[in-house]
Amino acid sequence: MSFADMRASFYIHVPFCLKKCDYCDFYSERALAENMERFVAAAQQEMVFYQDHPVFAAAEFETLYFGGGTPSLLSEEAIERLMDQAHQRFRWISDPEITLEANPETLSLERLRAFRSLGINRLSLGIQSFSDAELQRLGRIHRADQAERSIESALQAGFDNISLDLIFAIPHQTLKQWQANLRRALSFKPNHLSIYGLTIEPKTRLQQRISAGEFRKVSESIERAMYLWSMETLASENYCQYEISNFAIPGFECRHNMNYWNGRYYLGIGPSAHSYWENVRHWNVASIYDYFERLETGISPVAGDERLTPQQQMIEFIYLGLRTSAGIDLSAFETKFSVSFLPKFQSVLDQLEGHQDGQLFQLQPPRLKLTPAGRLLFDEICQRLADLC
């Protein structure tokens, strides 16, 4: 692929929150006005560093994603400045997907209309639950009625590509309660749903509260039932499960995330952001103050990098492929690694045949994909395959 024909994705990490959620282990800082202004200036300066990059200067970007943190804490003017800099410094396709992650407590109809007028054409709302009690257990600061109003306001503001994030297996949550959450989400007819089983990350406030006996985790059997019911229900509502946690009405799949899973190049701007190209990955400092100091003195914020070994590339190819409904392209695997997939991994596939949970994969050359039962065991299956890489 020539650089002139290459497509890439652009990510801006906005590391600010009003309050860190109890389950979150992403890098973020308290939202202070002076820091947000310095962030915008620093991020603009970071983009300058890449305008002569041997890959990103030649690439044509097709998605722009504001992630966080809580990007919707930034003013409309700040987001406009970042968008203008990105479009001035780099090449773009004519109709890029531009996503803004947003939390309900930061939104109003007026602000949503302003975001839409800037050209943001996809909104990802961090709903997580429509239950006040569950939101409190997660340490979220919005209420269920705010979540509902934010969806209604987004529709009124003209957003016709809306994604809702929901979490299941919240401590003490029952299957019936999760079903009520998902049904409430479906009542708004969103184009896209991201549903995540809650992961209890080490050193988070939620992990401490569970360890102290304040909360009780949902059992593995109930969590499995929640996920299986979700897959069946969403399929019946004409949502395509195009990735393990992501469901969309056909045509509304997240192009930005699909680029990640398909191994395309991406440029990350902001503290802790990652970039990837030509089997090289690098990452920025995970501190806004180090980030500010470096860029304000003309120094790159990159903290480290690595060139992926052939083994690492093979493992990532497997993990990313099996995440998606398309599965692993066996022909592409052989072309990339000069080895046939089936002979190399046949012993693992034989072990997975006749599993107690039923059929875990489908082999439909030239593709190998997971079944719904296999998606439940995604990590285990990938680890078995990785052990042979």
pTM: 0.95
Nearest-angstrom CA–CA distance, 72 and 64: 15
Task: Please give the Cα distance from 334 to 111 (Å, whole number).
Answer: 49
What residue ranges define each of the domains in the chain, with the CATH number in brackets? 3-261 (3.80.30.20), 310-386 (1.10.10)
What are 274-291's pLDDT values in tens digits?
999 999 999 999 999 999
As a whole number of angstroms, the distance between CA 123 and CA 381 comes to 33
pLDDT at 20: 87
**CA 239/CA 233 separation, integer angstroms:** 9
Query: Is the pLDDT reported for residue 3 higher than 80?
Result: no
Three-state SS string over 121-182 comes to: CEEEEEEECCCHHHHHHHCCCCCHHHHHHHHHHHHHCCCCCEEEEEEECCCCCCHHHHHHHH
DSSP one-letter code for 327: -
345, pLDDT greater than 90: yes
Token readout for 156 is 């009124």
Residue 281 has a pLDDT of: 97
Sheet holding 265-269, edge to edge: 240-243, 246-248, 192-197, 162-168, 122-128, 91-102, 60-68, 7-14, 265-269, 274-277, 280-284, 302-307
pLDDT at 1 exceeding the cut of 50: no
Chain mean pLDDT for the chain: 95
Looking at the predicted structure, is the pLDDT value of residue 2 above 60? no
Q: How confident is the model at residue 358 (pLDDT cuts 50, 70, 90)?
A: confident
pLDDT band at 388 (very low <50, low <70, confident <90, very high): very high
Share of the chain above pLDDT 90, in %: 90
Confidence band, pLDDT 50/70/90 cuts, at residue 4: very low
Given a cut of 50, is residue 25 above it in pLDDT?
yes
Is pLDDT above 50 for 344?
Answer: yes
CA distance 153 to 192: 17
Q: What is the pLDDT of residue 5?
A: 55
CB atoms < 10 A from the CB of 63, how many?
A: 25
Which helix (H) or strand (E) segment holds residue 260: the answer is: helix 255-261
